[in-house]
């Protein structure tokens, strides 16, 4: 009985609710001239992997069908160690400065007074104060914010990665996982129905598909620039809040990610999973932006808090082969490296740090700016939203989210929407005026309707007649 008291561990501070599956990555194209990472070389090679899909803002008991950021984290078990690639369903992110991480979470998580999850005023206040965040916010308010399950969404690692080949020649890439199931979305009306009948819709859809043999797959591509391209473009290609402009890059296909096995135990294989964007392999030294540096620290720290210092010794997180000087601490400690020396360096063939001789000697320094550019938001509204029907649904969702917002924040939001695009601002303003008038009418009707004339805490006659807290022949021993 006492064991039950300790079954739970802290839930993730973000991306708490999710599911997972196992599968493999198969190389379909020769990309050796771009990177010598073993996982992406050798056409036909298959590498085992684990994935975790999640909603960003929901708690463990939350709903799957809400418009918000979603994650797809992939752990490749390569012969050179684990490669973790953490993705969102949007190709851009909310901010560049990692110090904003905690402010973002506070604004998008539960209100500290009411404990209500969706605080529309806080969310709009944050994104209008940090206007660069509105680009990602726009994606989540569009059809892309609520795909029809995890299987039918694309996934993007958001950063610009540096990669290099065996000659030390560098390229800069943005990886894209494109769903082979085809993208589709859930409308607001459909979401309202599903939320009341199957709040675990996303989890159930993925599990059932794999169990029935309909293995979901994603095509892995990389949009690529050379060092010369980086110097010649008229925008910052390392800015995670914007897209790369069409015509400034080439796209190369790498392979396919296939999920073909469900987890056997959710706690062991999903809850204990620890993904970190800092887990990289030779040939992929990773991004160079400031946000990535912060994420490496944040992810490691939260996993130490949630799973303990030895979280990398939990089976799901272990590489295929490893030797370390990490000893003792909170279990699991596994074999604890038995009687091997626990100091470096030593004379007993202990492990030595890996030195990649092929890695370029020069390091790229990125100078980042805090300037806000509204052009990517204008492009999103006029180009990414390809149809008038999609734009109309997008506007309706914005209006719905703005109705409960307090006047000062609301006025600021309308001002920025007009700066982004006059058509967008005008249509939102018109829709909002209608929605607010309807809300005022509903409130007036509610205020004019008298409440039932009943004594406080007295059950209705129907309840008293048809319901008994105790059988009639049982007395209340507390009387």
Flag whether 172 is marked binding: no
109's torsion region: left (phi>0), alpha (psi -120 to 50) or beta? beta
Q: Residue 413 half-sphere exposure, CB side, CA atoms within 13 Å?
A: 27
- Residue written as token pair 């560098």: 170
- Residue written as token pair 């806080």: 122
Sequence-distant (6+) residues with CB within 8 A of 289 are: 96, 159, 160, 238, 239, 240, 366, 368
SS3 283: coil
SS3 21: strand
Query: Rounded distance, CA 153 to CA 88, Å?
Result: 9
Here the tokens at position 127 are 């994104």
349-388 per-residue burial string, b: 16 or more CB within 10 A, e: under 16: ebeeeeeeeeeeeeeeeeeeeeeebeebbebbbeebbeee
Classify burial at 88, counting beta carbons within 10 Å of its beta carbon; exposed 0-12, middle 13-18, buried 19 or more. buried
Whether 121 and 163 have beta carbons less than 8 Å apart is answered as no
286's torsion region: left (phi>0), alpha (psi -120 to 50) or beta? left
Whether 290 and 332 have beta carbons less than 8 Å apart is answered as no
Report H helices in 70-111.
101-108
Whether 275 and 84 have beta carbons less than 8 Å apart is answered as yes
- Residue written as token pair 């806000």: 372
Here the tokens at position 144 are 């892309």
SS3 400: helix
Sequence-distant (6+) residues with CB within 8 A of 327 are: 333, 336, 337, 342
438-446, long-range: CB < 8 A, 24+ apart = 439/403
The H or E element that residue 106 is part of is helix 101-108
- Residue written as token pair 């009687």: 339
- Residue written as token pair 């939203």: 385
Report H helices in 308-421.
375-379, 388-402, 407-420
Cite the annotated binding site by residue number.
299
Cite the annotated binding site for heme by residue number.
299
């Amino acid at each position: 009985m006492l064991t039950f008291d300790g079954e739970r561990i802290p839930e993730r501070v973000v991306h708490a609710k999710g599911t997972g599956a196992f599968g493999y990555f198969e190389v379909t194209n020769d990309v050796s001239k771009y990177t010598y990472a073993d996982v992406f070389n050798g056409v036909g090679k298959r590498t085992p992997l684990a994935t975790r899909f999640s909603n960003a803002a929901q708690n463990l008991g939350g709903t799957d069908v809400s418009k918000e950021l979603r994650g797809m984290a992939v752990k490749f078990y390569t012969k050179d160690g684990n490669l973790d690639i953490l993705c969102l369903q949007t190709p851009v992110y909310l901010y560049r400065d990692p110090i904003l991480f905690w402010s973002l979470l506070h604004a998008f998580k539960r209100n500290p007074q009411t404990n209500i999850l969706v605080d529309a005023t806080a969310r709009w206040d944050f994104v209008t104060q940090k206007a660069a965040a509105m680009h990602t916010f726009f994606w989540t308010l569009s059809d892309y914010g609520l795909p029809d399950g995890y299987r039918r969404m694309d996934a993007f690692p958001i950063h610009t990665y540096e990669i290099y080949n065996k000659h030390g020649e560098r390229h800069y890439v943005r990886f894209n996982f494109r769903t082979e199931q085809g993208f589709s979305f859930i409308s607001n009306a459909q979401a309202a129905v599903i939320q009341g009948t199957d709040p675990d819709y996303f989890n159930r859809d993925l599990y059932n598909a794999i169990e029935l043999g309909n293995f979901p797959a994603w095509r892995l591509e990389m949009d690529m620039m050379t060092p010369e391209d980086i110097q010649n473009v008229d925008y910052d290609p390392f800015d995670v809040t914007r897209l790369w402009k069409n015509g400034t890059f080439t796209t190369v296909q790498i392979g396919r990610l296939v999920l073909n096995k469900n987890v056997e135990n959710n706690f062991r294989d999903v809850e204990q999973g620890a993904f970190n964007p800092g887990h990289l392999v030779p040939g992929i030294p990773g991004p160079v932006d400031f946000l990535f540096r912060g994420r490496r620290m944040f992810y490691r720290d939260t996993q130490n808090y949630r799973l303990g210092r030895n979280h990398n010794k939990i089976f799901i997180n272990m590489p295929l082969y490893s030797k370390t000087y990490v000893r003792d601490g909170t279990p699991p400690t596994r074999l604890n490296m038995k009687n091997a020396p626990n100091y470096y360096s030593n004379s007993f063939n202990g492990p030595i740090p890996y030195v990649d001789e092929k890695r370029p000697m020069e390091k790229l320094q990125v100078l980042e700016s805090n300037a806000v550019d509204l052009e990517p938001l204008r492009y999103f509204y006029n180009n990414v939203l390809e149809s008038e029907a999609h734009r109309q649904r997008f506007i309706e969702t914005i209006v719905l989210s703005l109705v409960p917002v307090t006047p000062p924040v609301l006025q600021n939001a309308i001002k920025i929407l007009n700066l982004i695009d006059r058509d967008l601002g005008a249509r939102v303003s018109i829709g909002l005026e209608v929605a607010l008038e309807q809300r005022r009418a509903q409130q007036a009707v509610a205020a004019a309707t008298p409440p039932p004339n009943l004594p406080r805490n007295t059950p209705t006659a129907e309840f008293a007649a048809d319901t008994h807290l105790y059988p009639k022949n049982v007395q209340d021993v507390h009387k």
